[in-house]
């Protein structure tokens, strides 16, 4: 009974972690759907958004180090603190500007190129953005606090304790992440299914020439999609930044999104969600079982730990062998 | 010669209006290759205009110039009495020039209905928030657009495949869906690039009938490229003949058929 309760707590926590993975994976799916490009820079975009947000909130002068070095000044702060909501809006605006710049400077010149060329361009973009974030805001680890509740939810702990005799430890930030992710996904699905911009977006993803012939501006759609992906990156950046601090390793969470996408399929928004949840639950549960002397210990005679580092990738590998298009991806049909 | 402003009456008694599209001295080069050499012709309101010629004559390039996919190095395009500046294809589409492609360009992942609905994207004016929550003006607009699309679906007799993903359709039906999408935009000028290529006799007859009906029922001006001479002669009011990027004939089907240069281009002529 106790083991079952532990296990269910592990599952709930896994679901919450999964939501965080899904948030990152969503950004990939959006861009992949609209332009057939795997955007390697998505993780760095989340980092860049989080850095910008912290910078704005603390009233930091962008490029302060550069300016100081060049002009011998001692700039650092404007001396004010921007309220979180306003800072989020400003950061969203920065992400839109970034999208416009990416379209003008990179994508526009690569129309009609092979996907691999575009992929290479996004790798370049990732390194550029990482450097830009560093130069603009500095390389220190920052804490991000936009006012989201954090820490163990006592309400849930007492409630479950009274009810089951075992208190569940659930982070309030995770609960909020789940709610925000749900709203975000609902909004994105409504947008892509029911609006003309959404329809145009799907059209562009499918065939550039045909989209042009019905009067869709590729430029506008790309800017729109990259802006949305930038916004999703901002949300992911806020969540991860709040959870583990804004630091350069944040861009590596993009790596965790890869197995999520392989599971869910690169083209499906629900796939990104389900994939994230499966990975989240899977790795937590696997770790719980394999490291427990009572479970793995008594079944196999040994225990292993730190499985969370590799579990997702092994699962993704298995999926690649048996279902390469993922759970929800478009079926790959080869015509002979 | 034809009157520039008034138009003419066809053999079957249809009234053709003034000039809709006027191409003046169009020259298009790809590097050193001249795909179109100083070609001028016009397309009049309400007529079916064919562009014919052997392979590589520059017919598709001509259509791409009209639809904005290619920008000519020289020459002017006049549409509805105004000179058109250099335009992107999507801007041309918004002027009311719809087209189909020789190699079919449909959205394979979408259903037939969704494909045709994309043709109406520029007819939708409501903001995206009201569309997303399906409210107010957006709802009325979507319904009006759906009705228009359903009319076209009925018209082209593709009711039974409305929900089918386009990727699964056979070639002939794809061509028809592409025509439907172009029609959904209610174009002033409809450009068809080989609408009957690769079709069997029965499909060709259907497509011919649809083209005539579209012209008749909606009064749509149509410019088409076609290889099948029989079809061209039956369908079109006037024909432009191209060969090696030059215009070698222009007139009614009967006039063109009697033109020695055209006969030479098609049958080949010995240069001895």
Kindly report, residue by residue over A116-174, the tens digit of the pLDDT: 898 999 999 999 999 999 888 888 888 888 888 888 888 888 888 888 778 888 888 88
Measured in angstroms, the CA of A186 and the nearest CA of chain B are apart by 10
The dihedrals phi and psi of B168, each to the nearest 5 degrees, come to -90, -5
* B20 pLDDT more than 70: yes
ipTM of the complex: 0.84
Segments in A147-217 forming alpha helices (H): 154-164, 172-194, 196-206, 208-213
Percent of chain B with pLDDT over 90: 58
Is the model more confident about B2 or about B225? B225
B110–A194: do the CB atoms touch at under 8 Å?
no
* B2 pLDDT more than 80: no
Measured in angstroms, the CA of B16 and the nearest CA of chain A are apart by 26
User: Closest-CA residue in chain B for A207?
Assistant: B107
Round the average pLDDT of chain B to a whole number and report it: 88
Q: Is B96 on the interface with A (CB under 8 A)?
A: no
> What does the DSSP 8-state code read for residue A265?
-
User: Closest-CA residue in chain A for B125?
Assistant: A196
Please give the pLDDT value at position A99. Answer: 94
A210–B122: do the CB atoms touch at under 8 Å?
no
CA atoms within 13 A on the CB side of A316: 21
Question: Which residues in chain A land under pLDDT 50?
Answer: none
Measured in angstroms, the CA of B212 and the nearest CA of chain A are apart by 22
* Among A residues 188-207, those touching chain B with beta carbons less than 8 Å apart: 190-191, 194-200, 202-203, 205-207
Helix, strand, coil percent values for chain A (each to nearest 5): 75, 0, 25
Confidence of residue B270 (pLDDT cuts 50, 70, 90): low
B3: left (phi over 0), alpha (psi -120 to 50) or beta: beta
* B137 pLDDT more than 80: no
> pTM for the complete prediction?
0.81
B128–A330: do the CB atoms touch at under 8 Å?
no
Please give the pLDDT value at position B1. Answer: 45
Measured in angstroms, the CA of B267 and the nearest CA of chain A are apart by 34
A215–B131: do the CB atoms touch at under 8 Å?
no
Yes or no: say if A49 and A237 are a contact pair by the CB < 8 Å rule.
yes
List pLDDT tens digits, range B192-208: 999 998 888 899 999 99
- Identity of the residue in A187, A191, A203 whose CB atom sits nearest the CB atom of B118: A203
Q: Is A116 on the interface with B (CB under 8 A)?
A: no
Spacing of C-alpha B86 from chain mean position: 20
List pLDDT tens digits, range A77-130: 777 788 889 999 999 999 999 999 999 999 888 877 788 898 999 999 999 999
* B40 pLDDT more than 90: yes
Please give the pLDDT value at position B136. Answer: 65
Q: Is A209 on the interface with B (CB under 8 A)?
A: yes
Confidence of residue B125 (pLDDT cuts 50, 70, 90): low
- Identity of the residue in A190, A210, A213 whose CB atom sits nearest the CB atom of B67: A213
A206–B107: do the CB atoms touch at under 8 Å?
yes
* Among A residues 210-239, those touching chain B with beta carbons less than 8 Å apart: 210-218
Measured in angstroms, the CA of B151 and the nearest CA of chain A are apart by 19
Per residue, the 3-state secondary structure of B128-161, as one string, reads HHHHHCCCCHHHHHHHHHHHHHHHHHHHCCCHHH
Which site among A213, A217, A329, A334 would you substitute to test the B interface, given the most B Cβ atoms closer than 10 Å to its Cβ? A213
* B181 pLDDT more than 90: yes
Measured in angstroms, the CA of B36 and the nearest CA of chain A are apart by 22
A212–B69: do the CB atoms touch at under 8 Å?
yes
What sign does the CA torsion over A266, A267, A272, A274 have?
A: negative
Yes or no: say if B222 and B208 are a contact pair by the CB < 8 Å rule.
no
* CA gap A4, A8 in Å, rounded: 6
> What does the DSSP 8-state code read for residue B14?
P
Partners of B102 on chain A (C-beta within 8 Å) are none
Q: Is B90 on the interface with A (CB under 8 A)?
A: yes
Measured in angstroms, the CA of B164 and the nearest CA of chain A are apart by 15
A194–B131: do the CB atoms touch at under 8 Å?
yes
B75: left (phi over 0), alpha (psi -120 to 50) or beta: left
């Amino acid at each position: 009974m106790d083991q079952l309760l532990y296990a269910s707590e592990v599952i709930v926590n896994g679901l919450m972690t999964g939501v965080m993975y899904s948030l990152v994976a969503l950004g990939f799916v959006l861009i992949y759907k609209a332009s057939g490009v795997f955007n390697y820079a998505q993780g760095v975009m989340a980092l860049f958004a989080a850095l910008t947000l912290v910078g704005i909130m603390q009233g930091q002068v962008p490029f302060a180090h550069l300016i100081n070095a060049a002009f011998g000044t001692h700039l650092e702060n404007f001396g004010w603190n921007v309220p979180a909501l306003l800072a989020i809006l400003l950061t969203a605006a920065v992400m839109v500007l970034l999208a416009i710049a990416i379209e003008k400077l990179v994508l526009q010149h690569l129309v009609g190129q092979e996907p691999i060329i575009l992929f290479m361009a996004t790798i370049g973009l990732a390194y550029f953005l990482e450097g830009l974030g560093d130069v603009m805001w500095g390389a220190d680890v920052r804490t991000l606090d936009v006012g989201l509740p954090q820490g163990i939810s006592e309400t849930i702990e007492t409630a479950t304790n009274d009810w089951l005799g075992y208190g569940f430890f659930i982070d309030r930030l995770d609960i909020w992440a789940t709610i925000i992710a749900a709203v975000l996904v609902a909004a994105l699905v409504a947008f892509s299914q029911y609006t003309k911009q959404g329809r145009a977006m799907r059209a562009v993803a499918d065939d550039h020439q045909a989209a042009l012939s019905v009067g869709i501006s590729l430029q506008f759609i790309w800017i729109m999609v990259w802006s949305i992906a930038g916004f999703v990156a901002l949300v992911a950046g806020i969540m991860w930044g709040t959870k583990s601090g804004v630091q350069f390793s944040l861009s590596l969470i993009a790596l965790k999104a890869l197995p999520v996408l392989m599971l869910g399929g690169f083209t499906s928004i629900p796939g990104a969600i389900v994939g994230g949840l499966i990975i989240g639950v899977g790795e937590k549960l696997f770790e719980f079982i394999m490291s427990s002397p009572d479970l793995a210990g008594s079944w196999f005679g040994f225990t292993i730990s730190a499985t969370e580092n590799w579990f997702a990738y092994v699962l993704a590998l298995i999926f690649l062998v048996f279902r390469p298009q993922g759970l929800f991806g478009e079926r790959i049909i080869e015509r002979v | 010669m034809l009157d520039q402003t008034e138009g003419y009456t066809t053999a079957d008694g249809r009234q053709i209006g003034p000039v809709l599209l006027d191409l003046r001295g169009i020259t298009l080069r790809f590097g050193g290759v001249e795909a179109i050499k100083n070609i001028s012709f016009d397309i009049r309101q309400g007529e079916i205009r064919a562009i014919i010629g052997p392979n590589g004559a520059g017919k598709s390039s001509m259509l791409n110039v009209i639809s904005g996919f290619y920008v000519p190095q020289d020459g002017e395009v006049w549409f509805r009495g105004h000179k058109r500046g250099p335009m992107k294809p999507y801007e041309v589409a918004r002027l009311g020039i719809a087209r189909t492609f020789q190699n079919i360009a449909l959205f394979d992942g979408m259903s037939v209905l969704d494909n045709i609905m994309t043709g109406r994207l520029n007819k939708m004016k409501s903001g995206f928030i009201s569309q997303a929550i399906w409210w107010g003006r957006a709802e009325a607009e979507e319904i009006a657009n759906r009705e228009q699309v359903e009319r076209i679906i009925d018209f082209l007799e593709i009711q039974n495949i409305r929900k089918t993903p386009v990727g699964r359709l056979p070639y002939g039906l794809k061509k028809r869906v592409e025509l439907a999408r172009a029609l959904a935009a209610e174009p002033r000028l409809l450009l068809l690039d080989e609408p009957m290529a690769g079709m069997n006799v029965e499909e060709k007859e259907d497509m011919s009938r649809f083209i005539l009906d579209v012209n008749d029922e909606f009064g749509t001006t149509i410019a088409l490229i076609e290889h099948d001479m029989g079809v061209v002669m039956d369908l079109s009011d006037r024909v432009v003949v191209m060969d090696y990027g030059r215009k070698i004939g222009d007139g009614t089907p009967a006039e063109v058929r009697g033109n020695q240069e055209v006969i030479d281009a098609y049958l080949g002529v010995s240069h001895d």
